[in-house]
Amino acid sequence: MRTPIIAGNWKMFKTVGEAVELVKALLAEVSSLEGREVVICPPFTALYALRPLLVGTRLGLGAQNVYHETQGAYTGEIAPGMLVDVGCQYVILGHSERRQYFGETDASVSRKLRAALTAGLTPIVCVGETKTERDAGQAETVVGSQIQGSLAGLTPTEMAKCIVAYEPVWAIGTGDTATPEDAQAMHAAIRAMLADQFGGETASGVRIQYGGSVKPDNIDVLMSQADIDGALVGGAALTASSFLRIVKYQ
């Protein structure tokens, strides 16, 4: 059985004070949830302040990015060990916004992935196609290339420690969510790709999240799909009421 995982990607939102306020509101209700993992991924500036609030709770802490080196003269970057030091257990890698705005590639994601695993972090590896690529019938080809490149060289044991997030780029922040049937079809295709690359047993255990305008009013039907094992939530993770409704999916 794959334990569902819901992660909130806060992106470049929330001051430290706002982050603390939101986490306190979440903790009041998340502690009673069973059968699922819940993770928040705040900006780097809030991680240290949130750590003491989350110790011993059911709310996991993740970062939105990491660099592939352990230390060095890399101005503006964050090392995997630094994330572990402030209490992170998860890290998002290869988000489409990182690929689009900051030039990240499958090769750079692969390097970060290896560094994250070495540090003991659980990577959430993002893949997804653009609207142009989907309209051209290239969605599975594009996602397959990202899967192959981003996860290159991993052993089945290493892959089993990773999470994949399918985020169609055309659905991120647009309000335009993939239909449950389309999302399920791509998730099933991704699982088949993982089986080709790492074997069926490994693929059957890997959790695949859906991301892209996940909201309280579509989470239930998304989570009812056979190969959707969770959600990577953007805007709806920024308020306690909407995120709590999502993590309490039925």
Which residue in the list 104, 129, 133, 167 is annotated as catalytic? Answer: 167
Confirm whether 187 is a catalytic residue: no
* DSSP per-residue string spanning the chain: -PPPEEEEE--S---HHHHHHHHHHHHHHHTT--SSEEEEE--HHHHHHHHHHHTTSSEEEEES---SSSSSS-TT---HHHHHHTT--EEEES-HHHHHHH---HHHHHHHHHHHHHHT-EEEEEE---HHHHHTT-HHHHHHHHHHHHTTT--HHHHTT-EEEE--GGGTTTS-PPPHHHHHHHHHHHHHHHHHHH-HHHHHH-EEEEESS--TTTHHHHHTSTT--EEEESGGGSSHHHHHHHHT--
Catalytic, 68? Answer: no
Question: Among the options 37, 68, 95, 187, which is catalytic?
Answer: 95
Query: Which active-site residues does the annotation give?
Result: 95, 167
